[in-house]
Amino acid sequence: MSKNLDRKLRHIHNYPKRGIDFIDITTVLKNAQDFHDLIAELQAACADLNFDKIVAAEARGFIIGSALAYIMQKGFVPVRKAGKLPAAIYKKTYKLEYGESTIEMHKDALQAGERVLFVDDLLAIGGTAEAACELIESAGAEVAGVLFFVELAGLNGRQRLTKYDVRSLYLVH
Ligand code: 5GP
C-alpha cells in the first residue's frame, strides 16, 4: 500500500538555477519509517523483475540504490561523475535539465548477459537514465528495468527510455 511519500517531498523553488523547481528527497530520507517505507515500495515495484545487479548514479541514486540492493541481496554498481573511478571505465556525456554531465562505470563491473536494474531518485528529462543504460549496454549487459522514486510530470523523460521497462513510485507535478 502506498504511504504517500510524495507528500513529504520538499519543493525548492529556483534551485540550483532560476526557473527550476527542485524536489528535495532528504525530507523523506531523514525519517526512519519513511526511509524504510521508500525502500519497501521500491522493492515491491521491482519484485517481478529478474535481475542480478543494481546500477545507480551518483549521488542520490547511491542512497536508495544501495539500500535496495542490500535488502534484495543483489550486487551494487556505482555510476560516478567523471574522474572518480580508479580502474578502466566506460564513459558517456549527456545533457541535464540544467547543464551537461559526464558519467562513468567500471568496465569490469558487469558481465556480458547479466541483467541489471537501474535505480535513481528522480526522472526529469531522462538524460541520466538514458546515458546510464547505454553504459550498461556497453558492457554487454541487459537493462531489465529502470526504477525511480519520483517522476517529474510534463518533462517526458520516459520518451528517451521507450526501449526499457520504466517504473516510478510517484508522479510529481
Ligand atoms: P534527468 O537526467 O532525468 O534530467 O535528471 C535526473 C537526474 O538529475 C537524477 O540523477 C536526479 O538525481 C537529478 N535531478 C534532477 N532534477 C532533480 C530534482 O528536482 N530533484 C532531485 N532530487 N534530483 C534531481
The yes-or-no answer on residue 97 being catalytic is: yes
Structural domain contains residue 5: no
Interval 65-92 mean pLDDT? 98
Task: Tell me the pLDDT band of 1, cut-offs 50, 70 and 90.
Answer: confident
Structural domain contains residue 155: yes
Give yes or no for residue 78 CB within 6 A of ligand 1: no
**Residue ID of nearest Cα to ligand 1 atom 24:** 122
Q: Can you give the CATH number for the domain in which 88 is found?
A: 3.40.50.2020
- In the three-class reduction of DSSP (H, G, I as helix; E, B as strand; rest coil), residue 49 is classed as coil
How many domains would you assign to the chain? Answer: 1
Expressed as residue numbers, the domain containing 137 is: 49-172
Structural domain contains residue 59: yes
Structural domain contains residue 106: yes
Of the listed ranges 32-41, 59-68, 91-100, the least confidently predicted one is 91-100
Distance between first and last Cα of the chain: 21
pLDDT at 98 over 80: no
Q: What is the mean pLDDT of the chain?
A: 96
Give yes or no for residue 121 CB within 6 A of ligand 1: yes
> pLDDT digit string (tens) for 129-169?
999 999 999 999 999 999 999 999 999 999 999 999 999 99
Structural domain contains residue 36: no
Buried b (16+ CB within 10 A) or exposed e, 43-63: eebbeeeebbbbbbbeebbbb
The conformation of residue 136, written as its DSSP 8-state character, comes to H
